[in-house]
Amino acid sequence: MKRPESDVAGGASRAARLFQQVDATPLVLFRIGFGAIAVWEVYRYFSKGWIQAYYVKPKFHFTYYGFEWVRPWPGRGMELHFALLGVCAALMTLGLWYRLASILFAFGFTYVFLLEETRYLNHFYLLSVLSFLMAVVPANRTLALDARLRPSMASGTVPAWALVLLTAQVSIAYFFGGVAKINGDWLRGEPMRKWVAREEDFPIIGRWMGEEWMTWIFVYGGLLFDLLVAPCLLWRRSLPFALPAVFSFHLLNDRLFRIGIFPWFMMAATVLYLPPSWLRLGGRFGQAIPAGAPPTTLTPAQRTIAGLVGVHLALQCLVPLRHHLYPGNVSWTEEGHRFSWHMKLRTKRGSATFHVTDPASGRSWTIEPKRFLTRRQVGKMAVHPDMILQFAHYLAREFRDAGYPNVEVRATVMASLNGRPDRPLIDPDVDLAKEPRSLRLNSWIVPLDEPLPSRKDPRAARKVRAAVENAETAVEGSLL
Q: Cα 137 vs. chain centroid, distance in angstroms? A: 22
Q: Tell whether 351 is covered by a domain.
A: yes
Number of residues in the chain? 480
Element (DSSP H or E) covering residue 178: helix 160-180
Q: What is the pLDDT of residue 363?
A: 97
Among the residues of 198-299, which ranges form H helices?
212-234, 239-257, 262-269, 276-279
Query: What's the mean per-residue pLDDT of the chain?
Result: 91
Q: How far apart are CA 376 and CA 199, in angstroms?
A: 24
Give whole-number Cα distances, 411 to 173, 175, 264, 289, 414, in Å: 35, 37, 41, 63, 10
Q: Is the pLDDT of residue 125 over 50?
A: yes
One-letter amino acid for residue 367 of the chain: I
Average pLDDT over residues 263-290: 86
Predicted local distance difference test score (pLDDT) of residue 362 = 94
Residues 174, 226 contacting (CB under 8 angstroms): yes
Which element (helix H / strand E) includes 28? helix 25-47
**Is residue 241 one of the residues assigned to a domain?**
no
Beta strands in 12-55 (DSSP E): 21-23
Is 363 a member of any domain? yes
pLDDT band at 470 (very low <50, low <70, confident <90, very high): low
Residue 298 lies in a domain: no
Taking the C-alpha atoms of residue 471 and residue 249, their distance in angstroms, rounded to an integer, is 27
Q: Looking at residue 4, what is its pLDDT?
A: 47
| CB contact at 8 A, 279 and 26 | yes
Residue 405, φ and ψ in degrees, nearest 5: -75, -20
The contacts of residue 337 (CB under 8 Å, 6+ apart) are 323, 330, 331
* The total number of structural domains that make up the chain: 1
**pTM of the predicted model, to two decimals?**
0.90
Strand, helix or coil for residue 419: coil
pLDDT value for 1: 52
One-letter amino acid at 260 equals G
Any idea what DSSP says for residue 342? Answer: -
Does 137 score more than 80 pLDDT?
yes
- pLDDT tens digits for range 21-36: 999 999 999 999 999 9
403-406-412 Cα angle (round to 5): 110
The rounded distance, in Å, linking the Cα atoms of 193 and 209 is 9
Is residue 465 situated within a structural domain?
yes
Of 93, 32, 25, residue with least CA distance to 272? 25
Residue 424 falls inside a structural domain: yes
What's the rounded mean pLDDT across residues 349-374?
A: 97
Nearby residues of 461 by Cβ (< 8 Å), 6 or more positions away? 453, 455
CA 183-187-188 angle, 5° bins = 120
Domain residues for 422?
A: 346-479
As a three-state string, the secondary structure of 111-146 is HHHHHCHHHCCHHHHHHHHHHHHHCCCCCCCCCCHH
pLDDT band at 341 (very low <50, low <70, confident <90, very high): very high
Q: Tell me whether residue 418 is in a domain.
A: yes
pLDDT for the residue 280 = 83
Answer whether residue 137 is part of any domain: no
